[in-house]
């Protein structure tokens, strides 16, 4: 039965109740998993194939499709510990499945295994945030990307890394998966897939007995489009999935992020485990999915513009004689004062600006210079440019 709300729910209810069927589903999952680990790449699946090309693995690792095992085991669960590679494949799945909740909304964060597809800037911010502020042990985080370029970084944190997206669902059997790739990666599946989109992984996500949570950070791509590249269209009823589109900015790295999500964060549409995890790295705000790309432009790219503004303010103060360090601190704190007062007073910034400026005073002279330089339209144009570029990056051919 397909359900939908801000986040999209696919649920099979009868299956949940019946042990026999569940066992069959698990058999299928294991069979799929075994096929995936045994068969390197199959024909119609373009993207994962690309992930295999630049290989810098030892032959043993390459055989396993895995770059590393975690260097340390900090947490109670040890997904790839001494026998992690085996465990995710067959017997481990059986052991885990029996101890896992079988309904959406029941997973506990302390039991969750986290998967990240894409190993770029936003993945890095999320992982650092989860480890430092979400108290997630690094060895419970699994990261997939086609090349080892960025994976090394995650390996150093103690995360599991792989070049195969399918490992996130199969071998590592993750519960909460963040998709952190450019839109072009997903859109390419629609170009290469013939009548149906190709799978984002080597194959579609194996049927799971336990629920999956899929969180998309992919700009310019809808939750529905992403879903079509993950779920086997022949058996949509065999999945139990909660899917969301979010925008998280890189301040998540410091536990100070802004996180736009496609449903009311306090509603039942968002499972407690996701609410807890996302809240650990940022403030949750509801934004309809149709406006998420605009939210990315201001919340994601706008953060860079704000740092730019802090830097420019501090340059001015440095020119006027403050030390570099003091100028930077004052610039950042001044911006913090402005942001906080605007949020708390709810006044329009124009009104707050007028409150600062006295007739013929210093501030209005400075504001006049900003107006002459057309700074306001420059900033608005920067947001527009970021929004446009994100759409371009969602077109096949970019990645």
Ligand X SMILES: NC(=O)c1ccc[n+]([C@@H]2O[C@H](COP(=O)([O-])OP(=O)(O)OC[C@H]3O[C@@H](n4cnc5c(N)ncnc54)[C@H](OP(=O)(O)O)[C@@H]3O)[C@@H](O)[C@H]2O)c1
Binding map of ligand X across residues 235-264, x = CB under 6 A, - = no contact: ------------xxxx--------------
The tokens for 381 are: 């144009």
- Say how far apart CA 59 and CA 96 lie, in whole Å: 29
- Say how far apart CA 371 and CA 385 lie, in whole Å: 21
Q: How far is the CB of 11 from ligand X (least distance, A)?
A: 27
The footprint of ligand X on residues 166-195 (CB under 6 A) is 180-183, 185
Of 74-82, 120-128, 166-174, 321-329, which segment contacts ligand X by CB under 6 A? 120-128
Choice between 10 and 119, CB closer to ligand X: 119
Choice between 121 and 388, CB closer to ligand X: 121
Torsion of CA 113, 121, 302, 390, to 10 degrees: -100
Choice between 288 and 361, CB closer to ligand X: 288
Q: How far is the CB of 339 from ligand X (least distance, A)?
A: 18
Choice between 129 and 183, CB closer to ligand X: 183
Q: How far is the CB of 302 from ligand X (least distance, A)?
A: 10
Choice between 112 and 123, CB closer to ligand X: 123
The footprint of ligand X on residues 207-226 (CB under 6 A) is 217-219
Q: Which residues contact 355 (CB under 8 A, 6 or more apart)?
A: none
Choice between 145 and 263, CB closer to ligand X: 145
Q: For residue 266, with 0-12 CB atoms within 10 Å meaning exposed, 13-18 middle and 19 or more buried, which class applies?
A: exposed
Q: How far is the CB of 390 from ligand X (least distance, A)?
A: 5
Q: Choose which of 10, 47, 131, 241 interacts with ligand X (CB under 6 A).
A: 47
Binding map of ligand X across residues 128-167, x = CB under 6 A, - = no contact: ----------------xxxx-xx--------------x--
- Contact yes or no for 196/84 (Cβ under 8 A): no
Size of the site for ligand X (CB under 6 A): 32
Q: How far is the CB of 21 from ligand X (least distance, A)?
A: 32
Q: How far is the CB of 135 from ligand X (least distance, A)?
A: 23
Q: How far is the CB of 221 from ligand X (least distance, A)?
A: 7
Choice between 18 and 121, CB closer to ligand X: 121
Return the exposure string of 270-300: e unless at least 16 CB atoms fall within 10 Å of the residue's CB, then b. Answer: bbebbbebbbbbbebeebebeebbbbbbbbb
Choice between 50 and 322, CB closer to ligand X: 50
Q: How far is the CB of 204 from ligand X (least distance, A)?
A: 15
Q: Which residue is nearest to ligand X (CB)?
A: 120
Choice between 42 and 95, CB closer to ligand X: 42
Q: How far is the CB of 301 from ligand X (least distance, A)?
A: 7
Choice between 165 and 203, CB closer to ligand X: 165
Q: How far is the CB of 248 from ligand X (least distance, A)?
A: 6
The footprint of ligand X on residues 333-372 (CB under 6 A) is none
Does residue number 75 form part of the binding site for ligand X (CB under 6 A)? no
Q: Choose which of 75, 101, 120, 236 interacts with ligand X (CB under 6 A).
A: 120
Residues that bind ligand X (CB under 6 A): 47, 51, 117-123, 144-147, 149-150, 165, 180-183, 185, 217-219, 247-250, 296, 300, 390, 399
């Amino acid at each position: 039965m397909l359900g939908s709300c801000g986040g999209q729910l696919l649920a099979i209810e009868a299956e949940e109740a019946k042990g026999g069927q569940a066992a069959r589903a698990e058999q299928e999952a294991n069979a799929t998993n075994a096929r995936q680990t045994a068969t390197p790449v199959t024909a119609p699946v373009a993207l994962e194939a690309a992930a295999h090309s630049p290989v810098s693995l030892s032959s043993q690792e390459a055989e396993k499709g895995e770059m590393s095992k975690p260097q340390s085991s900090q947490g109670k669960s040890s997904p790839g510990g001494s026998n992690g590679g085996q465990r995710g494949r067959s017997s481990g799945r059986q052991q885990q499945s029996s101890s896992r909740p079988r309904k959406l909304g029941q997973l506990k964060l302390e039991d969750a295994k986290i998967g990240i597809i894409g190993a770029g800037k936003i993945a890095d911010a999320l992982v650092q945030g989860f480890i430092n502020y979400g108290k997630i042990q690094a060895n419970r985080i699994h990261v997939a990307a086609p090349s080892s370029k960025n994976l090394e970084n995650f390996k150093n944190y103690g995360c599991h890394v792989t070049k195969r997206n399918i490992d996130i669902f199969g071998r590592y059997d993750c519960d909460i998966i963040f998709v952190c790739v450019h839109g072009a990666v997903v859109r390419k599946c629609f170009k290469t897939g013939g009548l149906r989109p190709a799978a984002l992984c080597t194959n579609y996500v194996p049927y799971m007995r336990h629920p999956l949570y899929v969180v998309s950070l992919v700009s310019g791509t809808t939750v529905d489009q992403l879903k079509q590249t993950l779920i086997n269209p022949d058996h949509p009823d065999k999945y139990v999935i909660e899917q969301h589109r979010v925008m998280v900015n890189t301040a998540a790295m410091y536990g100070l992020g802004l996180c736009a999500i496609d449903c009311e964060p306090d509603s039942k549409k968002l499972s407690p485990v996701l609410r807890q995890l996302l809240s650990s790295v940022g403030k949750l705000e509801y934004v309809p999915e149709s406006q998420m790309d605009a939210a990315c432009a201001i919340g994601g790219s706008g953060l860079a513009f704000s740092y730019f503004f802090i830097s420019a303010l501090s340059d001015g103060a440095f020119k006027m004689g403050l030390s570099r360090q003091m100028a930077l601190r004052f610039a950042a704190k001044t911006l913090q004062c402005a942001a906080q007062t605007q949020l708390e007073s709810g006044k329009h910034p124009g009104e707050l600006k007028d409150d600062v400026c006295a007739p013929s005073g210093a501030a209005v002279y400075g504001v006049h210079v900003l107006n002459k330089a057309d700074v306001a339209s420059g900033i608005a144009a920067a947001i527009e440019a970021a929004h446009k570029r994100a759409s371009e990056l969602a077109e096949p051919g970019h990645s």
